[in-house]
Amino acid sequence: MKLLIITAVEEYEKGVKHILNHSGVKSFSSQKVKGYKNNSDSDSENWFGASHQEIDSLIFFVFVEETFTEEICRRVEIFNTKQESKSNIHVAKIHIEKSV
């Protein structure tokens, strides 16, 4: 069993859901979150996070069998290559040793 943690800007919500629904995923959870990006090159210019850009984002939690993970990642890569913006969908895959 794997846990996929997927992050994306809110504008990509339909894209992420489409990827999951067409990759064999039966259920998942999502939550709105604030993403932050430091646009400063220097720590001294970013005192107390003053130059952090706040971005409306989403985080998805998906428990799936290993067989589904490659298809999801492949579809995310295809989605990302088609985007003209710098923002991408990000996927982290974590092994679940035990689930109760």
**DSSP reduced 3-state for 39:** coil
- Token pair 């003053």 is found at 50
In whole angstroms, what is the distance from residue 6 CA to residue 80 CA? 13
What token pair was written down for 9?
Answer: 């800007």
- The tens digit of pLDDT for each residue in 90-99 reads 999 999 998 8
CB 99 within 8 A of CB 61: no
Indicate whether 15 belongs to any domain.
Answer: yes
CATH code where residue 67 lies: 3.30.70.120
Share of the chain above pLDDT 90, in %: 72
In the chain, the number of structural domains is 1
What token pair was written down for 59?
Answer: 């985080």
What residue numbers bound the domain in which 17 lies?
2-36+51-95
In whole angstroms, what is the distance from residue 76 CA to residue 56 CA? 19
Predicted local confidence at residue 11, as pLDDT: 95
Predicted local confidence at residue 23, as pLDDT: 95
- The tens digit of pLDDT for each residue in 58-83 reads 999 999 999 999 999 999 999 999 99
84 vs 13, residue with greater confidence: 13
Predicted local confidence at residue 100, as pLDDT: 87
pTM equals 0.84
